[in-house]
């Protein structure tokens, strides 16, 4: 039996010798490479935290000592050590989630995987423990150095060190990267500490960064295999970073030296007040293909051949992201006003191509969506047209800035929301189903949803020419699919994809499809046609505000069905219903979308099926509705 097979829970680690712990770390890496290659998932981050996670579970007593991950994609090793070794269904329905999930284990505390929130969670939990007399419990926050680019981290640190009579340990996993290399002044400083070559540099670097966290203490330094290992103990009183902070600093520690890690964590644990352990790790550790990948060190992968790293499944065509990536470069070449901003997602959002072509016109602000949006308002004020590219789920974090800094000031800023709608395997916190419902309440906003490559290209061009308010372009994850041609376009820009009525006549059903749901609507219309039910299918392209022609076309139909892959509560369908009511159009309306609940990890296809958003389900519902005598059927002549 291997050592890994003997580990059913964290306390099984207690009796292992140092040699056995090192052997266990090697086994876990072999396990991760083999298993994640089969399913896809976050490989690089987890290879980097193997020793860190082993040491953490040997020193602390989870779940009595809650462990909060920021972000949760680095929790695979934690899952393994807490009795979850079946990775065969990782990120698939019925299998392990790709992030911590309370339903899986009592060891998982925080499910949301939006970065920079862990210290606030830890602050609240530790305050609760202190107030309720649970001083024998510790709270551990594992935060990547990339999360330090988020303002919430520093807000939490300010409060943690204001009331510090509690047991809170912050483990800063410093690998120089978030998704890609961490950016900004803080990152540059940490890098200078990470690559330091001697005792004096290590001491002075730590003092410069964490001086106001506490005064210099004893330094323990030892060198092994030419690498620096050690930790710096610090008390209170110096004047370097923040005068109001008082936190014990331990580090930098070699994140792959189990003995050094345990020593540092024990010291932080025994301090009795908030402490920060600075751990230096290597993303992708132990897997040469990841270590040598400069782009993202196999941060998130699909199914791959573990020996070559080559994807097993190839895309069936260009992705939405790749088309945007190509088009934004073309537009930037034509219009010097266009600049771009992203929040630590340069390659995932497709802005890497523009950064290569126009490096001086692309800004990566780190995991700081709020700052990105308000900075964009400033860029617009200065005469530029910023394009802010991020995942739809992260747009939630900057709603106030969109509302008060961009929209209120009528700033011409374009927001490109990748991974909008149902994304699937990443789970509840990463489905981008809220943008349509939340963003449409912003006064003056214009929201577009392309259905294919040509409409993506033209809508992005249109959006970047609007300079009197915010514009949004949203599209899903995955391949873009074949072109869906329009039969005609109305004067106000609505594409008619299928005509269900002759001139001056009426039809049964009007489908108003949001973006890629156009294909679903057309397929549903084909099914209905076989049953003698006539249908019109339109794609508004700009879904907010509602075009006048959408309302006018609805007059000639008995039932309007809106289809969107966003939450139906307050979605586009609701907006259309309001516009029809205002215009005195009494056509019945059925609003289809995702339910108002958090969607568990599964494939996009499975979740669409659950929501009733397939052509077959939609057609069946229409047939039942119109043949249940509630709505008369217009028979063909």
| Residues identified as active-site | 283, 369, 397
Q: Report the distance separating Cα 397 and Cα 335, nearest Å.
A: 29
Residue 356 to residues 180, 526, 624, Cα–Cα distance (Å): 15, 45, 54
Q: Which residue from 77, 10, 68, 80 is spatially nearest to 42, judged by alpha carbons?
A: 77
Q: What is the DSSP string of 238-302?
A: --SS-TT---EEEEEEETT-HHHHHHHHHHHHHTSS-EEEEEE--TTTT-HHHHT-TTTSSSSB-
Q: Let me know: does 617 contact 609? Beta carbons within 8 Å.
A: yes
Q: Report the distance separating Cα 588 and Cα 451, nearest Å.
A: 25
For residue 147, say whether it is annotated as part of any ligand binding site: yes
Q: In the 8-state DSSP scheme, what is residue 57?
A: H
Q: Let me know: does 298 contact 287? Beta carbons within 8 Å.
A: yes
Determine how β-strand 488-489 pairs with β-strand 495-498.
antiparallel
With 0-12 / 13-18 / 19 or more C-beta atoms within 10 angstroms meaning exposed / middle / buried, residue 552 is: middle
Beta bridge partners, 479, equal 319
Q: Report the distance separating Cα 47 and Cα 25, nearest Å.
A: 9
For residue 111, say whether it is annotated as part of any ligand binding site: no
Q: In the 8-state DSSP scheme, what is residue 67?
A: E
Q: Report the distance separating Cα 445 and Cα 340, nearest Å.
A: 19
Determine how β-strand 385-391 pairs with β-strand 414-418.
parallel
Q: Report the distance separating Cα 522 and Cα 59, nearest Å.
A: 59
Instruction: At 248, give phi and psi (nearest 5°).
Output: -75, 135
Q: Report the distance separating Cα 514 and Cα 493, nearest Å.
A: 14
**Three-class SS string for 555-596?**
CCEEEEEEEEEEECCCCHHHHHHHHHHHCCCCCEEEEEEECC
For residue 145, say whether it is annotated as part of any ligand binding site: yes
For residue 73, say whether it is annotated as part of any ligand binding site: yes
How many C-beta atoms surround the C-beta of residue 428 within 10 A?
Answer: 18
For residue 287, say whether it is annotated as part of any ligand binding site: yes
**Residue partners of 53: CB distance under 8 A and separation at least 6:** 77, 78, 81
Q: Let me know: does 40 contact 306? Beta carbons within 8 Å.
A: no
Determine how β-strand 495-498 pairs with β-strand 362-364.
unpaired
| Residue-level length of the chain | 637
For residue 164, say whether it is annotated as part of any ligand binding site: no
For residue 99, say whether it is annotated as part of any ligand binding site: no
Q: Report the distance separating Cα 414 and Cα 342, nearest Å.
A: 12
Residue 184 to residues 6, 173, 180, 303, 354, Cα–Cα distance (Å): 43, 17, 13, 33, 19
**What is the greatest pairwise CA distance in the chain?**
92
Number of H helices, E strands in the chain: 22, 20
For residue 115, say whether it is annotated as part of any ligand binding site: yes
For residue 597, say whether it is annotated as part of any ligand binding site: no
Binding residues: 73, 113-115, 145-147, 175, 287, 369
Q: Which residues fall in the annotated binding site for Mg(2+)?
A: 145, 175
Q: Name the binding residues for thiamine diphosphate.
A: 73, 113-115, 146-147, 175, 287, 369
């Amino acid at each position: 039996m291997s050592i890994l097979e003997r580990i059913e829970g964290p306390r099984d680690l207690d009796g292992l010798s140092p040699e056995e712990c090192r052997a266990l770390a090697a086994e876990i890496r072999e396990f991760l490479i083999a298993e994640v290659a089969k399913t896809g998932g976050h490989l690089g981050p987890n290879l980097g935290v193997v020793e860190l996670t082993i040491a953490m579970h040997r020193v602390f007593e989870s779940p009595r000592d809650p462990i909060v991950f920021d972000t949760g994609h680095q929790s695979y090793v934690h899952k393994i050590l807490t009795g979850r070794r079946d990775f065969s269904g990782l990120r698939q329905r019925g299998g392990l989630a790709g992030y911590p999930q309370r339903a899986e284990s009592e060891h998982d505390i925080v499910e949301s995987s939006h970065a920079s929130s862990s210290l606030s969670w830890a602050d609240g939990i530790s305050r609760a423990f202190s107030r309720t007399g649970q001083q024998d419990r510790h709270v551990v926050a594992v935060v990547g150095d990339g999360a330090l680019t988020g303002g919430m981290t520093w807000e939490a640190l300010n409060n943690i060190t204001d009331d510090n009579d509690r047991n809170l340990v912050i483990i800063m996993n410093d690998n120089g990267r978030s998704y890609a290399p961490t950016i900004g002044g803080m990152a540059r400083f940490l890098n200078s500490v990470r690559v330091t070559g001697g005792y004096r540099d290590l001491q002075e670097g730590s003092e410069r960064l964490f001086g106001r966290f506490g005064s210099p203490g004893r330094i323990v330094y030892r060198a092994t295999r030419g690498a620096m290992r050690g930790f710096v103990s610090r008390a209170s009183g110096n004047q370097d970073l923040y005068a109001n902070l008082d936190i014990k600093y331990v580090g930098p520690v070699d994140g792959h030296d189990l003995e050094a890690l345990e020593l540092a964590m024990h010291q932080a644990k025994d301090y009795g007040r908030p402490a920060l352990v600075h751990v230096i790790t290597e993303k992708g550790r132990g897997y040469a293909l990841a270590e040598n990948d400069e782009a993202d060190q196999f941060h998130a992968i699909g199914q791959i051949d573990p020996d070559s790293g080559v994807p097993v499944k190839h895309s069936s065509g260009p992705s939405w992201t790749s088309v945007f990536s190509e088009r934004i470069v073309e537009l930037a070449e034509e219009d010097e006003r266009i600049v771009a901003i992203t929040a630590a997602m340069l390659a995932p959002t497709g802005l890497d191509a523009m950064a290569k072509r126009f490096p001086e016109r692309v800004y990566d602000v780190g995991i700081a969506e709020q700052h990105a949006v308000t900075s964009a308002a400033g860029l617009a004020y200065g005469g530029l047209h910023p394009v802010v590219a991020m995942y739809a789920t992260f747009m939630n974090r900057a709603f106030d800035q969109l509302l008060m800094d961009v929209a209120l000031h009528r700033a011409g800023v374009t927001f490109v929301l990748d991974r909008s709608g149902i994304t699937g395997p990443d789970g509840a916190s990463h489905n981008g189903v809220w943008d349509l419902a939340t963003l449409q309440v912003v006064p003056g906003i214009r929201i577009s949803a392309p259905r294919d490559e040509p409409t993506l290209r033209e809508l992005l061009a249109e959006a970047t020419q609007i300079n009197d308010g915010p514009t949004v372009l949203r599209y899903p994850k995955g391949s873009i699919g074949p072109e869906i041609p329009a039969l005609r376009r109305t004067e106000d820009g609505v594409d008619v994809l299928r005509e269900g009525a002759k001139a001056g006549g009426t039809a049964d059903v009007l489908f108003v499809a949001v973006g890629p749901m156009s294909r679903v609507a057309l397929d549903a219309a084909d099914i209905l046609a076989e049953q003698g039910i006539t249908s019109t299918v339109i794609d508004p392209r700009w879904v907010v505000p509602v075009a006048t022609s959408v309302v006018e076309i609805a007059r000639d139909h008995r039932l309007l069905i809106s289809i969107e892959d966003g939450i139906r509560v307050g979605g586009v369908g609701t907006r259309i219903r309001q516009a029809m009511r205002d215009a005195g159009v009494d056509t019945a309306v059925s609003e289809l979308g995702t339910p108002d609940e958090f969607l568990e990890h599964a494939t996009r296809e499975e979740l669409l099926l659950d929501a009733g958003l397939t052509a077959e389900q939609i057609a069946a519902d229409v047939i039942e509705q119109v043949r249940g005598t509630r709505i008369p059927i217009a028979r063909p002549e």
